Amino acid sequence: MALGLLPGMVLKLVRKAPLGDPLAIEFGGQVVSLRLAEAENLIVDVSADCPIQRPRQP
């Protein structure tokens, strides 16, 4: 969250690493690498024009 990944943000999966993990995710004008284990904590709504995600807290 310090990197600014906040509820209601639009995420874009830019690419996966060669072995499928981690993922490169773009949000708020930056690209960040997240392991699958961390990405699992994100709730992502993939409905067409209103993508919403909310971080679930550990």
Partner 1 sequence: MSTPDAGLLVALVGNPNTGKSTLFNALTGLRQRVGNYPGVTVARKSGTCDLGDGQKVELVDLPGLYSLAAASPDEQVVIDALSGNIAGDRTPDAVVLVADATNLLRNLFLASQVAELGRPVVLVLNQADVAKEQGLRIDADLLSRRLGGVPVVLTSAWKGEGILEVRRAIARSLAQRATMKRVVWPADISAALADVAAAATADTGKTVTAADAQRLLFDTAPTTADRLGWTSAQRDKTLRSARDRVRNSGYNPMAAEPLVHYAQLRVALEGVVTEGSGKASRTAAVDRLLLHRLLGPLLFLGIMLGFFASVFWLAKFPMGWIQSGVDWTKTVIAPPLDAYPMLQSLLADGIVGGVGAFLVFLPQILILFLFIGILEDSGYMARAAFIMDRLFSWCGLNGKSFVPMLSGFACAIPSLLSTRTIEDPKARLATAFVVPFMSCSARFPIYALMCAAFIGPLYGPGWESVVMVAMHCVGLVFAVPTAFVLTRLILKVKPQPFVLELPRYQMPKPRDVLWRMWQNAAEFVSKAGTVIFAISIIVWALSYFPRDAAVAERIKAAHPTASAEVVKAKVQAAYIEQSYMGRFGKAVQPVFDPCGFDWKITVGVLASFPAREVIVSTLGVTYSVGEGAEADSQHLRQAMQDAKWSEGPRAGRPIFSLAAVLALMVFFALCSQCGPTIATLAQETGGWKWAAGSFLYMTTLAWLAATAVYQVVSRIG
# residues contacting partner 1 (CB under 8 A): 29
Contact between 51 and partner 1 by CB under 8 A: the answer reads: no
CB of 5 to partner 1, least distance (A): 9
Establish if 10 lies at the interface with partner 1 (CB under 8 A).
no
Residue 5 near residue 31 (C-beta atoms within 8 A): no
From CA 50, how far away is CA 10, in angstroms rounded?
Answer: 8
Interface ranges with partner 1 (CB under 8 A): 1-4, 6-7, 14-22, 24, 28-35, 37-38, 55, 57-58
